[in-house]
Amino acid sequence: MIAPRARFMTPQHPKKISSIAIATSPTCDRSQTMWFCLICAIVLTFVVISTGRAQSPLTQPDWPRFLNDDFSGSAKLTESAPNSIASLNWKSEPKFHWALDVGDGYGIGVVRGENYFQFDATNDSERLRKIDLATGAVKWTRSYPLDYRDMYGYETGPRCSPTIAELDDESGDAQIFTYGVAGQLTAWSCESGNQLWTNSLNEKYDVVQNFFGVGSSPLIVGDQVIAMVGGSPDDQQALAPGRLDRVVPEGTLMVSLDRSTGDVRWTGGDDLASYSSPRTITIGGTEYLLMFARDHLWVLDPTDGESLGKVYHRADILESVNAMVPIVDGNRVLISECYDAGAAVYDINVENDRATFETVWKDPEGRRRSQALRSHMSTPILHDGYLYACSGRNAPDSDFRCIDFATGEVKWTALDRRRSTATRLGDVLLVLKETGSLHIVRVTPDRFDELAVWELDFAAGDRPALQFPCWSAPVIVGNRMLIRGDRTVLCLALPEHNPS
């Protein structure tokens, strides 16, 4: 177990301030005592109000899955949050709470209440740790053996975040599901860390190793946990490594398992897996599954896995991959890739158990300079009709941009030549460049309005530096931000109000 570095400052309680003042006051008459008590009461009231304002949480306390529970990549503000998050004191250096050393892998963790859960790999094992969100202390660690080697030399560890789902009983417990780089899906108890069940889906469905292993977060729908698998006939294992163009699917793109037992409920979708994560979409009052797989965007029935329809979207080269999670607004869906096809927006309708895909707009294939959005690893943020996203395959040709969701018109571009991820907090975006700097940007289609830059790639005091690559979007809970670099997760405080 790797011990985290932690530092957490607790503000002095206002009652202690008043009791010390009274205990050390000189003997005085009744009139002086009354004035003294009045002054103490005023001071105490001011301290309580000030302390309460500073400690009042800006966002909801939970972040239970990748991109949050509504797949938006946005924090949910509390009623006590100010109308404009941009008015906070972003110019000040972020307050550092603690740092957690992490092993191999690229995913950031999830949060339930006062606990942060990090999934990574070390010493040929994948491990899940429960971390005290207030102090950074490790409460428990659970692990299992891992046999995986990346064919392109990337880290041997999970590529995705766990998923938390509450239990429908009075125990107060919840399940947390991890999906490892080699295809091991495991259910754990959030409270005790006990393993409830585990299932090696790569072995069960003869999955031919994808370029970078498994990289899709599990999805909870009712009493099911649904995972992207993409298995093949057993004889496909004899193919040369990396020749996915020769691999034949076998109807197991998606696999549904019983949350309680791990037993398989159904399989569906005739495609290979991607690095995108499945999500839900509601059309005509009915909930469906939406998956951006290796070759197609799919719509499935979540009750039995029946395919309702698909549309092809992939660059016609061996090495291309699909990775972003589909963006949904009503029945309108955006998908994008960075290799050749770019982006497409469809209006999806379902009638008589068949899905139709009406094109709203689509990037010209093969004309990268003319494409509106080339999403690679990160998922865009949709807010008030505009997309905010990293566009480009790698550092030389990437930027951060704003796109009109309805038309595909690019409104502005910025942060040229570096990849990034983003999380929305009210009317600001926290844009994390892969090199470790965090850019605070106002959410507006008018211009790139940068409020501040935090150079987290440099150490400051007790706070260690983030190291390349920083490929996970920040997580925001309460008044805290969790930000991951290659070997470290930082826990920082959100800023307070600007002094009046």
What is the number of domains present in the chain? Answer: 2
DSSP notation for 414-477: ESTT--EEEEEETTEEEEEETTSEEEEEE--SSS-EEEEEEETTS-BTTBPPP-S---S--EEE
Please count the helices (runs of H) and the strands (runs of E) in the chain: 3, 33
| Whether 110 and 38 share a structural domain | no
Cβ-based neighbour number of residue 35 at 10 Å: 11
pLDDT value at residue 41: 46
Ramachandran assignment for 48, one of left (phi > 0), alpha (psi -120 to 50 degrees), beta (any other): alpha
Query: Cα–Cα distance between 309 and 93 in angstroms, integer?
Result: 50
**pLDDT reported for residue 47:** 40
pLDDT value at position 366?
A: 87
pLDDT of the chain along its 500 residues, tens only? 443 433 333 333 333 333 333 233 334 454 554 554 454 444 444 443 344 345 589 999 999 999 999 999 999 999 999 999 999 999 998 999 999 999 999 999 999 999 999 999 998 999 999 999 999 999 999 999 999 999 899 999 999 999 999 998 888 999 999 999 999 999 999 999 999 999 999 999 999 999 999 999 999 999 999 999 999 999 998 998 889 999 999 999 999 999 999 999 999 999 999 999 999 999 999 999 999 999 999 999 999 999 999 999 999 999 999 999 999 999 999 999 999 999 999 999 999 999 999 999 999 998 988 999 999 999 999 999 999 999 999 989 999 999 999 999 999 999 999 999 999 999 999 999 999 999 999 999 999 999 999 999 999 999 999 999 999 999 999 999 999 999 999 999 999 987 65
492 strand-pairing partners: 96, 481
Residue 74 placed within a domain: yes
Alpha carbon dihedral 243, 244, 247, 253, in 10-degree steps, equals 160
Degrees, nearest 5: CA angle 260-264-267: 135
Q: Do 140 and 20 sit in the same domain of this protein?
A: no
Which string of DSSP letters, residue by residue, matches 112-133?
ETTEEEEEEEETTEEEEEEEET
Residue with tokens 């490594």: 241
Cβ-contact 124, 175 below 8 angstroms: no
Residue 277 contacts residue 283 (beta carbons within 8 Å): no
* Token pair for 279: 């999500």
Do 170 and 47 sit in the same domain of this protein?
no
The verdict on 73 and 105 lying in the same domain is yes
Which has the closest alpha carbon to 473: 426, 438, 445, 427?
438
Do 165 and 41 share a domain, yes or no? no
State pTM to two decimals.
0.89
Return the pLDDT at 178.
98
Q: Is residue 3 part of a domain?
A: no
Burial of 46 per CB tally in 10 Å (0-12, 13-18, 19+): exposed
CATH number, domain of 113, equals 2.130.10.10
- Sign of torsion, CA 98 101 106 109? negative
Q: CA 107, CA 470: separation in Å to the nearest integer?
A: 10
Is residue 413 assigned to a domain? yes
262 and 120 share one domain: yes
Q: Are residues 20 and 116 in the same domain?
A: no
Give the integer Cα–Cα distance in Å for 80 and 63: 19
Does a structural domain hold residue 326?
yes
* CA torsion angle 254 259 264 269 (round to 10): -10
Same domain? For 63 and 43 the reply is: no
Neighbours of 453 (CB within 10 A): 15
47: domain range?
14-52
Confidence (pLDDT) at 169: 87
Q: Does some domain include residue 498?
A: no
Q: Is residue 8 part of a domain?
A: no
**Predicted pLDDT at 56:** 86
For residue 55, the model assigns a pLDDT of 53
Which residue reads 């600007």 in tokens?
498
Residues 34 and 123 grouped into a single domain: no
Given this model, what pLDDT does residue 48 score? 39
Cα–Cα distance, 1 to 142 (Å, whole number)? 10
| 137 and 253 both lie in a single domain | yes
Residue 260 tokens read as 């309680």
Q: What is the pLDDT of residue 17?
A: 32
- Same structural domain, 45 and 117: no
- The C-alpha atoms of residue 237 and residue 230 are separated, in whole angstroms, by 13
Residue at 482 is within a domain: yes
**Quick one: 60 and 36 in the same domain?**
no
Q: Is residue 387 part of a domain?
A: yes
